[in-house]
Amino acid sequence: MLKELFQGFWAGLARIILRNRILILLLVLAATVFLGFQWKHMRFSNTEANVLPDDHPETIQYNAFVDLFGQEDNAIVLAVRDSLLFSPENFNRWNKLSKQFQAVPEIDFVISTDNLQELVKDNERQEFVLRPLIKSVPNTKEEIVQIKNHLFENMPFYENLIFNKESGTIRTVIYMDKDILNTSVRNEFILNDLENLIDNFETETDLDVRVSGMPYIKTWNSKIIIDEIGNFILAALAVTSIIFFFFFRSFRATFISMCVVIIGVMWAFGILGLFQYEITILTALIPPLIIVIGIPNCIFLINKYQQEVKKHGNQALSLQRVVSKVGNATLMTNCTTALGFATFIILDSDLLKEFGIVASINILCIFLLSLLIIPIVYSFMPIPQDKHLKHLKKKWIDRFVSWMEHVVRNHRIAVYITSVLVLVTSIIGIYQIQITGSRIEDLPKDAKFFKDIRFFEEEFDGIMPVEVVVDTKQKNGVLKPATLRRMNQLSNEIEETPELSKPVSAVNLVKYSKQAFYNGIPKYYQLPTSQENTFIMDVARKSSENGNLLQSFVDTTGQTARMTTFMRDVKTTRMEEIEEDLKESIAKIFPSERYNVYMTGKALLFLKGTKYLTKNLLLSLAFAIGLISIFMAYLFRSFRMIIISLVPNLLPLVITAGLMGFLGVPIKPSTILVFSIAFGISVDDTIHFLAKYRQELMANKWQIKKSVYNALRETGVSMFYTSIVLFFGFSVFIISSFGGTKALGGLVSATLLFAMLANLILLPSLLLSLERSIANKTVLKKPQIDILPKGDESANGK
C-alpha cells in the first residue's frame, strides 16, 4: 500500500512540475531573490571558536578568569632583530612608531622602549616611583648604547617581555581595546592602520619588523578564509564543469547544470545569512560542497532524460519519467548524504552544529533545485538530437564495465584476498595513528604571519598564553610572604619547562621593588627576605604607581593573582604532559585547604577542545553509521543486507585511517570530519546498486548471477561518473592554504575512490558468494518504498 502511495506521489509530482513550469520558476526566482537579500546578514567570524560547550568546566574556569582580569589574548607584538635598530635614526623612528600606535583609538596602551618605566626609590618620600627609561631624545650612538646597556643589564623585570638579551631583539607590545577585540573593527585596524604604519617604518629604515599575537593571527586567518571561499567556488565550478562536459559532450547540459549549482551556492550564502551564522573555516566549505554534491544529481537526471529520449523519442514522457523514476532514488541518496552532515548537529560544539545544520539543509535544497529546474528547462528546449546522445555509446566505458564484470565473474577469490590483505595492512597503519595536533599546524605555512610565529617562539618562547590563577581565599593574601614564595617556586618550575616562557606575575614586581630599594642593583632582583619584607612592602604599598602596576597581576581585593606564561606550538600529547607536570607541581606547592589554584588560557582551551571534539566526532561517526543502517533497513528490510551493504562502505574508511597512520597524518578535528562526510556520500552508490539488484532479482525470477551482472552493467557507469566528479570535486580543497582543509579534501577524495571500487567490485562479489544466504524471497522482502520503480534504468550510463 505504502509503495503504491509513493509511486503515485512521484507520478503526481511530475505532473505538477511540468504543468506549472512558469509558476515554479517564478517561485525559485523569488526564493533566490529573498535569500540574496539575506546576504547582508552574513558575518565573517572575528572570534576564535571555542569548541567546548558553555557548561564545560574548562569554559567556566576560563570565563571566571576573564571576569577577573579581562581577555588575556589582546596583545599584538612587534619585534626587530637587527643591530642597525640601535642607530639614532632607526631607534628614534622605532620609538615614534610606538607613539603612533598609542595615538590610535583602537589601542588601549603600548609598552615599548619609548615609554618604558624604571622603578626607583624616592628616599625623601620613602616611596617607589616610576621614572622614564629615556628622559630625552637620544641623538648619538653613544647615548643609545648607554640606554641599551642599562636596559639589558639593569632591568631584568623587562627581560623576555621587551628584549631578548642574547640576540639583542627589541619588542613592542600593543594591547588592543578589549571592547573591539572580537569585532570587525579589529580586522580593519590590523589590515589597514597597523600594516600601513609598519610598512612605512620598514620603508624608511630598511628594517624587517616581525608581527604576531593572537589578534593579528585571528585577523589574517579570517582574511585567508574569505579569500579562499571565492577560490574554492571557482575551482569547484571549473573542475566539475570540465568533467561534466567530458562525460556528456554537451555545452547545453553543462550550462544547465552549472546554473543549478550556482543557484544552490546563492541559496547556501542566503541560508547562512538567514540564520545569521558566522562564516568560519568550516561553513566556508559549504558553497563549494554544494557544487560538488549537486553535480551528481544533474548527472543522474540528465542521463535519465537522454536515455528515455533515445528509447522512445517522446519528450513529454521522458521528462515525466525523469521526475517519477529518478526523483525517489535521488532523494534517498541525498538524504543519506545529508545524514552524514546532520550527525554533527548532535554535538555541543556550536562550530560543528552550525556546519551540520547548514550543510544538511543545503544538500536537500540542491536536490530540490535539480529536480525542479532540469526537467522544466529541458521542456522549453528542442528534443536532443543523435549528436547529443553519442556519449551514451562510449567504447571505453563499455570496456571499463566489461573489466569489472570479468573481475567479479572470474576473480572473486582474488578480490577477497586483496581485500583482506588491504584490511590487515590498514589495521597495522591504524595502530600508528596519533591523536594529536597543534594550535597552529593547520595554518598556512607560507604566510608571513606563520613565519613570524616561529620567530617569536625562538626569541620569546611562544605566543599562546597559559594562565595560572592563584586564589588565596583571603583578602590581600597575594602579597603575603608565604604566597609570594610559593608563587616564586612555581615560577621556577615553569621556567624549567623548555616549551614555556618565563612567567610574569606579582612576584616579578615584588622582586623589582627590592631591586629598586637597593638602588637598582641587578643582583637584588629577588624576593625580599623575611627581615626585608616588612619595610620593602610598606614602601611598595605607599606607592600609588606600584598599585596601578599591580592591577595587571592581582584582582581589586588582593585575593587572587594571575601568573602568565606563553607556550610554544607543541603537539597536544606534549601539552597534556606539560599540564600534568604543572598540576603536580601546583598540588605540591599550594595546599588545597589554603589555596584554590587552576590553570586556564586559550592554549589549554585548545587542548581540551581537541580532545572533546575527537571523542564526540567518533560518536558522530558511529551515529551516522547507525542512522544510515536504520535507513537501509527500512529500504531493504533485511538485516543481512545491511551487513553486506556496510562492508564496502566501512572498508574504505579503514583504508583511509590506515593511510593516515602510514603517512603520519594525525587524528584531529579537521581530519576526523572526513569519515562522517565520506560515509554519508559513499553509501549512495550502495543504495543505487542494491536497489537495482533487488529489482533485477524480481524481474529475473531470483536468478542471482544474472541479476548481479545486470545491476553491475546498469549502475556501474553512473557510479563511475559520479565518483569521478566527487573525487575531483573534493580535490579542489587541496589548493587551500590551511592544512586541515587540505587534509579534508585529500582524504575524502581518496575515501570516495576506494568506496567506488568497493561498491563496484567487492559488493557484487559478496552478493554472488553469499547468494544462498541473502538472495531469496524471505530475506529480500518487498521494501516499504521502491527506490527504482520496475523497468527503471536511471543508472544506466550506456
Residue 205 falls inside a structural domain: no
Confidence of residue 793 (pLDDT cuts 50, 70, 90): very low
Residue 310 falls inside a structural domain: yes
Strand ranges in 529-576 using DSSP code E only, listed in sequence order: 560-567
Instruction: Specify the DSSP class assigned to residue 190.
Output: I
Among 771, 795, 792, smallest CA distance to 708 is for: 771
Mean predicted confidence (pLDDT) in 422-426: 93
Lowest-pLDDT range of 85-99, 247-261, 622-636? 622-636
pLDDT at 549: 59
454: Cβ contacts below 8 Å, ≥ 6 apart: none
Residue 124 falls inside a structural domain: no
Using an 8 Å Cβ cutoff, are 362 and 292 in contact?
A: no
Q: Read off the pLDDT of residues 703-739 as tens digits, 9 standing for 90 and up.
A: 778 888 888 877 777 788 888 888 898 888 888 888 7
pLDDT at 545: 45
* Percentage above 90 pLDDT, the chain: 24
Q: Which domain holds residue 310?
A: 2-30+219-431+607-774
Residue 214 falls inside a structural domain: no
Widest distance between CA atoms in the chain = 110
Number of domains in the chain: 1
Among 339, 574, 528, 268, smallest CA distance to 434 is for: 574
Q: How far apart are the first and last CA of the chain?
A: 34
pLDDT at 669: 67
* Residues making up the chain, counted from first to last: 798
Confidence of residue 514 (pLDDT cuts 50, 70, 90): confident
Measured distance CA(170)–CA(152) in Å, rounded: 10
Mean predicted confidence (pLDDT) in 353-379: 91
Residue 575 falls inside a structural domain: no
Confidence of residue 604 (pLDDT cuts 50, 70, 90): confident
Residue 480 falls inside a structural domain: no
Instruction: Specify the DSSP class assigned to residue 384.
Output: P
Residue 150 falls inside a structural domain: no
pLDDT at 209: 94
Element (H, E) at 231: helix 214-248
Q: Read off the pLDDT of residues 20-60 as tens digits, 9 standing for 90 and up.
A: 989 999 999 999 999 999 988 887 765 666 677 778 888 88
Lowest-pLDDT range of 420-429, 477-486, 679-688, 776-785? 776-785
pLDDT at 798: 34
Mean predicted confidence (pLDDT) in 370-383: 89
Measured distance CA(709)–CA(703) in Å, rounded: 10
Mean predicted confidence (pLDDT) in 293-312: 83
pLDDT at 796: 39
Whose grid coordinates read 558566522?
278
Highest mean pLDDT among 207-211, 507-511, 573-577: 207-211
| CA dist 787 → 161, 324, 646 (Å) | 67, 10, 18
Whose grid coordinates read 557510479?
719
Mean predicted confidence (pLDDT) in 753-760: 88
Q: Is the predicted pLDDT of residue 346 greater than 90, yes or no?
A: no
pLDDT at 486: 93
Rg of the chain's alpha carbons, rounded to an integer?
33
Question: How many other CB atoms sit within 10 Å of the CB of residue 798?
Answer: 16
Across the chain, what does the average pLDDT equal?
83
Q: How distant is the alpha carbon of residue 562 from its chain centre?
A: 31
Q: Is the predicted pLDDT of residue 313 greater than 50, yes or no?
A: yes
pLDDT at 423: 92
Among 699, 681, 684, smallest CA distance to 789 is for: 699
- 126 vs 304, higher pLDDT: 304
Q: Read off the pLDDT of residues 179-230 as tens digits, 9 standing for 90 and up.
A: 887 777 888 888 899 999 999 999 999 999 999 988 888 888 888 888 888 8
Mean predicted confidence (pLDDT) in 569-585: 86
Confidence of residue 398 (pLDDT cuts 50, 70, 90): confident
Helices (H), 108-213: 141-154, 184-188, 195-205
| CA dist 746 → 242, 448, 573, 657 (Å) | 20, 25, 25, 13
pLDDT at 584: 93
Among 59, 57, 190, smallest CA distance to 602 is for: 59
Q: 3-state DSSP call for residue 85?
A: helix
736: CATH? 1.20.1640.10
Residue 314 falls inside a structural domain: yes
Cα dihedral value 293, 620, 45, 68, nearest 10: 180
Q: Is the predicted pLDDT of residue 778 greater than 50, yes or no?
A: no
Q: Is the predicted pLDDT of residue 256 greater than 70, yes or no?
A: yes
Q: Is the predicted pLDDT of residue 782 greater than 80, yes or no?
A: no
